[in-house]
Every structure is written in C-alpha cells, then in structure tokens.
C-alpha cells in the first residue's frame, strides 16, 4: 500500500509540471496585447510601455516562466495586475463562497441522485423509472445559465420565495472566521442572517446540482441494476431477507463503489466549474473571479488560479485513487 501511495504521489509531480507549462503557455498564446487590453483605447505609448515593463512582458518567455515558477515554489502566487491584490489572498477570500455553494450542490445531488437512482432501479421500467431518467437526461442537457434564469424568474420574481441574487442581504453583515455564511451566522447567533443566507443558497445550489444529480441518478440506477443481477443478491433473496435489507445492505453497498469515485471527482469539478452559476446568481466566488481575470488579461490570476484548480483536481484524483485502493485491494495489485 505504501509503495502504491508513493508511486501515485510521484506521478503528480510531472502532471503538475505539465500543467504549469501548459497554463503559462496558454496565457501567452492568447492573442492581443494585455497592456493594451487593460488600458483600453485611451492608452498612449508612454502608458503602454510603463505597464508592459511593470508586467514583465518585455522579458523573454523562458525568463518569465522561470521567475514565475520561482515565485510559486516560494508560496508567492503573484499580485493581480488590475487590482494589486495578492492572488493567494484574493483566492482565499473568494474560496469559501465557492466551497459553500459546491458542497450544498453536492449534498443535493447525492441525496436526490441516490434516492432517484435506487428507486428507479428497484422499479425498473415503471413510470417513475422512465420519468426520472427522462428528467436526468434533461438535467444533463440543460444549459446552467438558462436553468438559473428560469429558476430566478419563477421562484424569485413570480413567487417571491427566494432572493434574485447574491449571498446575503445588505441588512446583514457577517465577518466570521470560516467564510461560510451558514456557519458564521450560527457562530454569531444571528438566526435571521442564517435564514437569509440559506434562502440565498437554495436556487444557485439547485442550478449547480442539476447535472451532478442527473449523473448520480443514472449511475446509481445502472450500478444497482448490475448488482441486483449478482448471485449473492439472489441468494439473499432466496434466504428470505427482507426486501429493504436486500436493497440497502446487500446491493447498495456494492453498487455505491463506482458512484463514490464519481462523487469524489465531482466535488473538484463543482469547485472549478461553478463559473456559470456564479455569474447567473451574482455569487462572489472563485469562478467569477477567474472569468473576470480572463477578460482583463490579468496574467497572474489566470496562471495561479488555473494552477490551483489543477492542484485541486490532481489532489481529488489522488484521494479518490487512495480511497478506491482501500476499498478494493485489486486496484493496488494491478
């Protein structure tokens, strides 16, 4: 197991190196002069030159890369060219918002996805099965920004159940230790703020959860159906086990192994991919920050945030692999 772990860890080094080269090159392959984009049409030669100098754009590419990596390895992710913020600080400031949203979405996806998948498998070819799998297909295919707008239109504007945008009403101020508004409001003993934060969280979480819910539901159903065919399930049934026991103990435990793998990777995906949801619901998280940086050609943010996302993905992959190896020793051996 130790050797497997070590090998797996060592593999992440070339992966991350590759990612760093890719991220660095991609930014430089994007056409246009970042200084001109930042200063806009009002720029003149003097201002452009000063900004290029400040951004280090006049130096050779290799020199820029080496200097960048040197800083990264020393824990310095750079300074935003546009706002002058430390990239790491800015990331950490926005990360709790994205994490809170992603975890809520994942929770919804797991609960609804699993329940739907299990029921659909048990009631195979029933109306529920057909309907739920139809919804799952629609969920996977639906553009998030469109779904988000529809949710806002019906549940916020027409019914008035939820706020249209943001994380918290202006009447509340939370500056808690975690950055998770649900937790910070509870720590502060501010129940109205907790309720308000929860109301803000509902629609974006649903929008973000739609695709993962659909994936989990379909995977659970398939996996359950496979396991339900196994001999040991038939044996259990023949032995006269209660139906719920057959499903929950004998079938689900085994059927969940591939689903667990997907869920692990899904969290990484949610963290990195909440861009559209954050933009639609004006959620001040990492996704929107990255899109803004891209529009403004804010090199240090683009490079470092992409690197952070890559690290999250590689890390999640690693954790999933290790967990999988723990669950299924055959993986280790192969």
Partner 1 sequence: MRTLTLFCLSCLCLWAKEGGTLIYARGADGSGMDPALVVDGESYAATCNIYETLVRFKYGSTEIEPALAGSWEISKNGLTYTFHLRHGVYFQTTRYWDQKSELTAKDVLFSFERQMGKVPYYKGAKSYGYWASMGMSSIIKKIEALDKYTVRFTLKHPEAPFLADLGMDFLSVLSADYAAHLKSLNKEDELTRKPIGTGPFKLATWFRDDKIVLLKNTDYWGPKAHLDRVVLRVIPNPSVRALALQRGEVSIISAPNRNEIPRLASLPGVAVDEKPGLFVTWMSLNLEKKPFDNRLVRLAINHAINTPDYVKIVYENYATPAINPMPPSMWGYNKDIKPYGYDLKVAKELLAKAGYANGFETTLFTASKYNKQAAEFVQAQLAKIGIKVKIEFFEWGTYLKKVAMGEHKMAFSGWKADTPDPDNFLYILWSKEAAAEIPTRNGSFYKSDVYSKLVTKAKYLSNQAKRTALYQKAQEVFHDDAPWVPLAYPYSIVARLKSVQGYQVSGVQINRFANVYFSK
Task: Please report, as ranges, the residues that interact with partner 1 according to CB under 8 A.
Answer: 30-34, 36-48, 50-51, 53-54, 79, 82-85, 90, 93-94, 145, 149, 152-153, 156-157, 160, 163-167, 170, 173, 279-282, 284, 288-289, 292, 296-297
The CB-of-50 to partner 1 minimum distance in angstroms stands at 4
Q: Are 185 and 191 in contact, with CB atoms under 8 Å apart? A: yes
Question: Distance between CA atoms of 291 and 280, rounded to whole angstroms?
Answer: 13
Nearer to partner 1, 72 or 149 (CB): 149
The CB-of-174 to partner 1 minimum distance in angstroms stands at 10
Nearer to partner 1, 218 or 288 (CB): 288
The CB-of-48 to partner 1 minimum distance in angstroms stands at 7
The CB-of-215 to partner 1 minimum distance in angstroms stands at 26
Torsion, Cα of 76, 79, 85, 89 (10° steps)? -20
Nearer to partner 1, 32 or 240 (CB): 32
Nearer to partner 1, 34 or 139 (CB): 34
- Of 8, 4, 6, 3, nearest in space to 318 by CA: 8
Whole-angstrom CA distances from 233 to 192, 225, 328 are 49, 11, 19
The CB-of-173 to partner 1 minimum distance in angstroms stands at 7
What residues does 79 pair with on adjacent strands?
Answer: 86
Nearer to partner 1, 184 or 321 (CB): 184
Nearer to partner 1, 158 or 229 (CB): 158
Q: Are 260 and 220 in contact, with CB atoms under 8 Å apart? A: no
Question: Distance between CA atoms of 72 and 66, rounded to whole angstroms?
Answer: 10
The CB-of-143 to partner 1 minimum distance in angstroms stands at 13
Q: Tokens at residue 283, please?
A: 């959620």
Burial letters for 156-172: b for 16+ Cβ neighbours within 10 Å, e otherwise? beeeeebbeeebbeeeb
């Amino acid at each position: 197991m130790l050797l497997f772990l070590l090998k797996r860890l060592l593999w992440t080094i070339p992966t991350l190196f590759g990612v760093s080269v890719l991220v660095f090159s991609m930014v430089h392959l994007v056409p246009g002069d970042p200084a001109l984009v930042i200063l806009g049409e009002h720029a003149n030669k003097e201002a452009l030159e000063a900004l290029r100098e400040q951004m280090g754009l006049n130096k050779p590419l290799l020199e820029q890369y080496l200097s960048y990596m040197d800083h990264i390895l020393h824990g310095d992710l750079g300074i935003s060219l546009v706002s002058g913020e430390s990239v790491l600080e800015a990331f950490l400031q926005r990360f709790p918002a994205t994490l809170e949203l992603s975890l809520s979405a994942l929770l919804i996806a797991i609960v609804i996805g699993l329940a739907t998948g299990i029921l659909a498998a048990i009631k195979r070819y029933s109306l529920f099965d057909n309907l739920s799998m139809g919804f799952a297909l629609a969920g996977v295919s639906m553009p998030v920004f469109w779904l988000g707008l529809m949710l806002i239109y019906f549940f916020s504007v027409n019914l008035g159940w939820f706020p249209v945008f943001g994380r918290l009403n202006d009447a509340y101020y939370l500056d808690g230790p975690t950055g998770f508004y649900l937790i910070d409001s509870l720590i502060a003993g501010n129940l109205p703020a907790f309720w308000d934060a929860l109301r803000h969280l509902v629609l974006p979480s649903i929008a973000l959860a739609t695709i993962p819910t659909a994936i989990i539901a379909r995977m659970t159903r398939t996996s359950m159906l496979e396991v339900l065919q196994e001999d040991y399930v038939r044996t259990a049934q023949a032995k006269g086990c209660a139906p719920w026991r057959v499903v929950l103990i004998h079938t689900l435990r085994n059927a969940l192994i591939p689903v667990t793998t997907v869920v692990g990777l899904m969290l990484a995906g949610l963290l990195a991919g909440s861009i559209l949801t954050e933009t639609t619901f004006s959620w001040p998280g990492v996704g929107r920050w990255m899109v803004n940086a891209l529009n403004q050609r804010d090199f240090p943010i683009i490079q470092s945030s992409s690197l952070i996302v890559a690290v999250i993905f590689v890390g999640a992959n690693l954790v999933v692999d290790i967990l999988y190896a723990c669950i299924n020793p055959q993986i280790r051996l192969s």
